[in-house]
Amino acid sequence: MKCNIYLIIILISSLFLCSCSNTASKKNPSIQADDFRIQNNKVKVGIEQQKNKIIELEKLIGELNSRIVYQENMLNTLSEELKDQLEAMNRYNSSNSEVTTTLIKMSLRY
Write down the pLDDT at residue 74.
Answer: 96
Q: Tens of pLDDT along 5-58?
A: 767 777 787 776 666 654 444 567 788 888 899 999 999 999 999 999 999 999
Q: What is the 3-state secondary structure (H, E, C) of the chain?
A: CHHHHHHHHHHHHHHHHHHHHHHHHCCCHHHHHHHHHHHHHHHHHHHHHHHHHHHHHHHHHHHHHHHHHHHHHHHHHHHHHHHHHHHHHHHHHHHHHHHHHHHHHHHHHC
Write down the pLDDT at residue 24.
Answer: 43
- Comparing 64 with 96, the larger pLDDT belongs to 64
Q: Tens of pLDDT along 77-109?
A: 999 999 999 888 887 777 777 777 777 777 777
